[in-house]
């Protein structure tokens, strides 16, 4: 598609005069795939429209939140009505109770839940709570998993850090980093070794139950079950970071789909329906240590903001009351998976496709992708070429080989056929 991106180019030049790198989040900068970011102007259904009027079929869905599609009528109308009543109080309101009660009714193992404004805040707070509850300091995370940009997590993290190959982040002190231990994803023996070497010091193991920040990577059979057993035996808080998987894989998220009980769960993305919302929750035994009930301090000016709660509550209510949406999303993702596989195979391009529900990623290489190491061994430069081919064909993929694609339910079968058609021209 010969198309002009002149407006985006000039907006990017202007943005760099007042915003670091011209973007408010590094992964949007196209740094790894090359070229300059496209500036969007509007979105409707499964489509986004850029500043030059080009139309794109959207496979990011705002990195997950827009699961129902852009401009979903009921969500827009609920937000419009709420802002007519109030934008923010800084005092409790019934909307927060309704949101908490809805989440407790959807998510397994959540007796109490605290709202925050991002996935980072949710994960950061959950780790502080685990440390306060256990009196222990160290945490174990997994190479390639990303839990937001709090200091404790910026050790061998995924998403933008993998994209930019940032191994150690300036500003994260040695003291903080020394309390974060890292194991390869899907390597239970490595975790057991770390736990034994640091016996009695591990407060939490935090994991993406289905990883989405090194592309989509599934837990091997038995991996999460073994971690669950180890955490129970060693009194380690098992934290499921469901910022991506929560309310996306199912109403009950990965806990429901994989049948594994977490001690604490963190949420983001879908929970806000596109507005800034995160949350962390779990059993009362642990959550009651959070201020003002307990002494683990955690706070936020806009936590539980009524407009954001309205967007999230409306989105989650639609998902809870229409479970067939998850079946439709999975079917569409499978149609995409099968079409991609058939087309790339016919072109003789070695690839691996990982999919769980409506999370999917394509990795160029002949080997299985089950960890960050195997993800990094793929043909990243070929992915970058693929990204730009698809972009110029009107298909907007996540601008990094280390990201999961996110389908929204406004995608039609013909959108997916158009996507496969574009792949056939690669
Ligand atoms: P936020 O602070 O960006 O809302 O959430 C952090 C986070 C926590 N946990 C998981 C599993 C996540 O995927 C994220 C954020 N995901 C990235 C995309 N891989 C957000 C995109 C961005 O950084 O702009």
Quick: pLDDT tens for 214-230.
Answer: 999 999 999 999 999 99
Task: Annotate 383-420 with DSSP letters as a single string.
Answer: HHHHHHHHHHTTEE--SSTTS-EE--TT--HHHHHHHH
User: How high is the pLDDT of residue 160?
Assistant: 80
Domain end among 262, 290, 321: 321
In a domain, 1, yes or no: no
pLDDT(305) > 90: yes
Helix residue spans in 4-159 (DSSP H): 6-15, 73-85, 94-106, 119-134
Q: What is the mean pLDDT of the chain?
A: 96
Atom of ligand 1 nearest to the CA of 25: 24
Q: 264 and 413, same structural domain?
A: no
Q: What is the pLDDT, as a whole number, of residue 1?
A: 47
Mutate to test the pocket of ligand 1, among 244, 356, 399 (most ligand atoms within 8 A of CB): 244
Decide: 153 in ligand 1 pocket, CB within 6 A: no
**Which residues belong to the active site?**
146, 241, 269
Same domain, 13 and 112: no
Query: Residue 208: CB within 6 Å of ligand 1?
Result: yes
Let me know whether 279 and 228 are in one domain.
yes
How do residues 30-73 score in pLDDT, each as one tens digit?
Answer: 998 999 999 999 999 999 999 999 999 999 999 999 999 999 99
pLDDT in tens, 87-143: 999 999 999 999 999 999 999 999 999 999 999 999 999 999 999 999 999 999 999
Q: CB of 146 closer than 6 A to ligand 1? A: yes
189 CB-contact burial (10 Å; exposed 0-12 / middle 13-18 / buried 19+)? exposed
Mean pLDDT of 1-27: 93
- Cβ of 277 below 6 Å from ligand 1: no
Rounded mean pLDDT of 336-356?
98
Out of 299, 321, 343, pick the residue that ends a domain.
321
Q: What is the CATH number of the domain that holds 201?
A: 3.40.640.10
Q: CA 328, CA 388: separation in Å to the nearest integer?
A: 28
Ligand 1 mean position to 125 CA, how many Å? Answer: 15
Cis bond before residue 224 (omega within 30° of 0): no
The pLDDT, as a whole number, for residue 167 is 66
Domain range for 87: 73-321
Percent of the chain with pLDDT over 70: 99
Q: Where are the alpha helices (DSSP H) in 135-204?
A: 160-163, 174-178, 188-197
Structure tokens at 252: 């009950």
pLDDT digits (tens, 9 = 90+) for 191-222: 999 999 999 999 999 999 999 999 999 999 99
Cα(158)–Cα(164) distance, integer angstroms:
10
Say whether both 125 and 251 belong to one domain: yes
- 19 and 85: one domain? no
Query: Which ligand 1 atom lies nearest to the CA of residue 120?
Result: 2
CA of 238 to the centre of ligand 1 (A): 19
CB atoms within 10 A of CB 46: 22
Residue nearest (by alpha carbon) to ligand 1 atom 13: 244
Single out the residue in 264, 290, 321 at which a domain terminates: 321
Residue 26's pLDDT is 96
Task: Return the exposure string of 385-405: e unless at least 16 CB atoms fall within 10 Å of the residue's CB, then b.
Answer: ebbeebbebbbbbbbbbbbbb
pLDDT (0 to 100) of residue 111: 98
| Distance from residue 243's CA to the centre of ligand 1 (Å) | 7
Please state the rounded mean pLDDT for residues 344-369: 98
> Both 257 and 122 in a single domain?
yes
Sign of the dihedral defined by the CA atoms of residues 180, 182, 186, 190, in that order = negative
Output the CA 148–ligand 1 centroid distance in Å. Answer: 5
- What pLDDT does 2 receive? 58
Atom of ligand 1 nearest to the CA of 276: 4
Residue 24 Cβ contacting ligand 1 at under 6 Å: no
Ligand 1 atom closest to the Cα of residue 211 is 11
In terms of domains, do 42 and 116 share one? no
More confident residue, 22 or 171: 22
The stretch 401-419 carries a mean pLDDT of: 97
Between CA 209 and CA 179 the distance in angstroms is 22
pLDDT at res. 164: 76
| 358: in domain | yes
Q: How far apart are CA 245 and CA 243, in angstroms?
A: 6
Task: Say yes or no: CB of residue 123 within 6 Å of ligand 1.
Answer: yes
Q: Is the CB of 212 under 6 A from ligand 1?
A: yes
pLDDT at position 161: 80
Taking the C-alpha atoms of residue 364 and residue 361, their distance in angstroms, rounded to an integer, is: 10
Cβ atoms of 40 and 51 within 8 Å: the answer is yes
CB 207 within 8 A of CB 126: no
Q: How many domains does the chain have?
A: 2
Averaged pLDDT, 333-361: 98
- For residues 247-260, give the mean pLDDT: 98
Q: 209 CA to middle of ligand 1, Å? A: 14
Among the atoms of ligand 1, which is closest to the Cα of residue 119? 5
Same domain? For 121 and 83 the reply is yes
Average pLDDT over residues 161-169: 75
CA 213 – ligand 1 centroid, Å: 8
66 and 77 co-located in one domain = no
The ligand 1 atom at the shortest distance from the C-alpha of residue 123 is 8
Q: In the predicted model, what is the mean pLDDT of residues 328-343? A: 98
144 Cα–ligand 1 center, Å:
13
With 0-12 / 13-18 / 19 or more C-beta atoms within 10 angstroms meaning exposed / middle / buried, residue 154 is: buried
Does 403 sit in the ligand 1 pocket, CB within 6 Å?
Answer: yes
Same domain (yes/no): 100, 122: yes
317 and 328 in a single domain? The answer is no
Same-domain status, 293 and 353: no
Q: Is the CB of 241 under 6 A from ligand 1?
A: yes
Q: Is residue 57 part of a domain?
A: yes
């Amino acid at each position: 598609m010969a198309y002009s991106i002149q407006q985006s180019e000039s907006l990017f030049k202007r943005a760099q005069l007042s915003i670091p790198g011209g973007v408010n989040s590094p992964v949007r900068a196209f740094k790894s795939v090359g070229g300059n970011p496209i500036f969007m102007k509007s979105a409707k259904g499964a489509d986004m429209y850029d500043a030059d009027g080009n139309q794109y079929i959207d496979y990011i869905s705002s990195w997950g939140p827009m699961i129902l599609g852009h401009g979903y009528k009921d969500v827009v109308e609920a937000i419009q009505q709420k802002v007519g009543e109030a934008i923010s109080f800084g005092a409790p309101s019934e909307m927060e109770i309704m949101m908490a009660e809805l989440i407790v009714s959807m998510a397994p193992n959540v007796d109490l839940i605290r709202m925050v404004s991002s996935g980072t805040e949710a994960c950061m707070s959950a780790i502080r709570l685990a440390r306060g509850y256990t009196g222990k300091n160290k945490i174990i995370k997994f190479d390639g998993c990303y839990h937001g940009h709090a200091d404790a997590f910026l050790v061998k993290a995924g998403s933008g850090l993998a994209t930019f190959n940032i191994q150690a982040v300036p500003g994260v002190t040695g003291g903080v980093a020394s309390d974060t231990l890292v194991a390869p994803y899907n390597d239970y023996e490595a975790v057991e070794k770390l736990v034994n070497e640091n016996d009695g010091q591990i407060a939490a193991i935090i994991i993406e139950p289905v990883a989405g920040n090194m592309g989509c990577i599934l837990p091997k059979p038995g991996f999460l079950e073994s971690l669950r057993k180890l955490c129970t035996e060693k009194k380690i808080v098992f934290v499921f970071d469901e910022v991506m998987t929560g309310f996306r894989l199912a109403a009950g998220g990965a806990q429901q789909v994989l049948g594994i009980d977490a001690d604490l769960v963190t949420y983001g993305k879908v929970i806000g329906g596109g507005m800034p919302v995160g949350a962390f929750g779990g059993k009362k035994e642990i959550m009651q240590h959070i201020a003002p009930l307990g002494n683990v301090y955690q706070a936020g000016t806009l936590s539980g903001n009524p407009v954001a709660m309205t967007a999230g509550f409306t989105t989650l209510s639609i998902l809870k009351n229409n479970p067939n949406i998850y079946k439709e999303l999975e079917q569409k993702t499978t149609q995409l998976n099968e079409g991609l596989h058939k087309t790339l195979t016919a072109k003789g391009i070695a690839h691996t496709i990982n999919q769980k529900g409506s999370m999917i990623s394509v990795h160029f290489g002949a080997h299985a992708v089950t960890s960050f190491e195997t993800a990094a061994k793929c043909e990243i430069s070929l992915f970058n070429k693929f990204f730009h081919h698809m972009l110029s064909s009107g298909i907007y993929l996540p601008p990094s080989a280390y990201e999961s694609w996110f389908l929204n339910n406004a995608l039609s079968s013909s959108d997916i056929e158009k996507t496969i058609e574009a792949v056939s021209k690669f």
